[in-house]
């Protein structure tokens, strides 16, 4: 049964509010990462020390998605989103202390809060879309795909803009003024969210037990495992190995490395938003996830061969990275749609939380391997592991339903 225009208008307004919250949070999150990296580098911190500042950021993502999904089902997704915004404001405020207090443990704790905030915000934003688009067939499923893709793609584009913003604010205003400005802006967003979003949005009709946090759906378990290897395959060479290789082996400046990676993330987000245009007559299913994962596995393989043959290394790496970004964005967009479609409408936050727990675990594994494998064997080895991860993701995707559950 179709919605009345009044109900439809409310849902669109809520979707725009959620998207605005997600944009504001992601912009400050990307800017904060760049501010911390550049500021603490200027203070003389070693690269390893700077990397350690973000360790808890990734570790707490795994825990937060599991617990956050359960909390979202019990108290509502809007409350979870607002808690995430508040925690980010607190994390920013912690960095306003005098420079002498900005020790590694203090900043690691602030980044831990920021990591918790980020995953609460992401999980609640993605899961909320399920409640705003009615489940069904045909146009409603395509509409769900479009809303999820636009939300996810625009978020990643904002993350790239955040990298630029962080560098710009540090240059123009200095570290503390930049942090203070972001904290005040995010406070306004938080207050607006408290007013505009209904507190019970996404709240489960049943009060799930904590032991219910692990999904009992075979499709969601397989998709989550595939997501773990998909994002591990990206981060095993993208997070540490690639920027260090560009700087050390190809002689790129820090400005060139940062700008290129920021532009890559923005382009990646734009492609994610446009992914539904590939599926005008139907929606993606398990076969789509399988096919695109196999296609993606070709790219790191070809780049690794070029590196081993020392053939036009810079051109091969840059062109390969751009192609990888396009195909990876489509993969990610399909996955993001499938988890929302597979999720149970009443326990959507728990299913989505479990899925993004696997996503966070993949990022954590990829980040650790990226530094260790690159330091030990080089970038080509990272790319070979990326290929193996993608083939594993494709193998897991074979078990997904050929048609999305209606």
Domain architecture of the chain: domains with CATH: 5-397 (1.20.1250.20)
Answer positive or negative: Cα dihedral of 28, 112, 21, 270.
positive
Cβ neighbours of residue 275 under 8 Å, at least 6 residues apart? 149, 153, 329, 330, 333, 334
- The greatest distance separating any two alpha carbons of the chain, rounded to the nearest whole angstrom, comes to 62
Q: For the stretch 294-318, what's the b/e string if a residue is b when 16 or more beta carbons lie within 10 angstroms of its beta carbon?
A: eebbebbbbbbebbeeeeebeebbb
Report the Cα–Cα distance between both ends of the chain, in Å, rounded: 15
pLDDT digit string (tens) for the chain, length 406 residues: 445 666 667 777 777 888 888 889 989 988 888 788 777 777 777 656 766 777 788 788 788 877 877 787 778 788 888 999 999 999 999 999 988 888 888 988 898 899 899 888 888 887 777 767 655 555 677 778 888 888 888 888 888 888 888 888 888 888 899 999 999 999 999 999 898 888 677 666 666 666 666 666 889 999 999 999 999 999 999 877 888 888 888 888 767 877 888 889 889 989 998 888 877 667 899 999 999 999 999 999 999 999 998 878 999 999 999 999 999 999 999 999 999 888 876 667 778 888 888 998 998 898 888 888 888 899 999 999 999 999 999 999 999 997 644 4
Listed residue (240, 222, 223) closest to 385, CA to CA? 240
* Distance of alpha carbon 142 from alpha carbon 341, whole angstroms: 10
d(C-alpha 133, C-alpha 271), whole Å: 22
- Rounded-to-10 torsion of CA 187, 127, 277, 12: -60
**What is the model's pTM?**
0.81
Give the ranges where 100-138 is alpha helix by DSSP (H). Answer: 104-132
């Amino acid at each position: 049964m179709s919605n009345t225009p009044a109900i439809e208008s409310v849902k669109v307004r809520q979707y725009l509010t959620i998207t605005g919250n997600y944009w504001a949070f992601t912009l400050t999150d990307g800017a904060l990462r760049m501010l911390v990296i550049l500021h603490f580098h200027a203070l003389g911190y070693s690269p390893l020390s700077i990397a350690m500042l973000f360790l808890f950021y990734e570790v707490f993502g795994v825990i937060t998605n599991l617990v956050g999904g359960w909390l979202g089902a019990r108290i509502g997704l809007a409350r979870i989103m607002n808690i995430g915004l508040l925690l980010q404001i607190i994390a920013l405020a912690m960095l306003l202390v005098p420079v002498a207090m900005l020790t590694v443990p203090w900043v690691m704790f602030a980044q831990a809060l920021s990591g918790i905030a980020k995953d609460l915000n992401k999980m609640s934003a993605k899961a909320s879309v399920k409640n705003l688009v009615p489940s069904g067939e045909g146009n409603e499923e395509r509409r769900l795909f479009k809303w999820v893709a636009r939300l996810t793609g625009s978020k990643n584009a904002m993350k790239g803009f955040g990298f630029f913003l962080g560098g710009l604010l540090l240059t123009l205003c200095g570290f503390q003024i930049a942090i203070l400005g972001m904290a005040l802006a995010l406070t306004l967003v938080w207050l607006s969210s408290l007013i505009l979003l209904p507190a019970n949005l996404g709240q489960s009709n049943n009060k799930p037990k904590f032991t219910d946090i692990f999904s009992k759906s075979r499709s969601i378990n397989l998709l989550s495992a595939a997501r773990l290897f998909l994002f591990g395959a990206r981060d095993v060479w993208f997070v540490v190995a690639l920027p260090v290789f560009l700087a050390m082996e190809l002689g790129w400046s820090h400005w060139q490395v940062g700008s290129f990676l920021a532009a890559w993330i923005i382009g990646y987000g734009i492609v994610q938003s446009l992914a539904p245009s590939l599926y005008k007559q139907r929606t993606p299913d398990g076969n789509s996830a399988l096919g695109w994962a196999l296609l993606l596995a070709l790219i790191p393989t070809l780049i690794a061969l070029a590196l081993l043959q020392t053939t036009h290394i810079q051109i091969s790496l840059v062109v390969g990275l751009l192609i990888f970004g396009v195909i990876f964005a489509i993969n990610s967009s399909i996955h993001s749609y499938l988890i929302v479609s597979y999720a149970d409408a009443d326990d959507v936050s728990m299913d989505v939380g479990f899925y993004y727990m696997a996503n966070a675990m993949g990022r954590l594994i990829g980040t650790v391997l990226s530094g260790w494998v690159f330091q030990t064997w080089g970038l080509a080895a990272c790319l070979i592991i990326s290929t193996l991860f993608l083939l594993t993701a494709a193998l897991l995707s074979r078990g997904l339903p050929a048609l999305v559950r209606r």
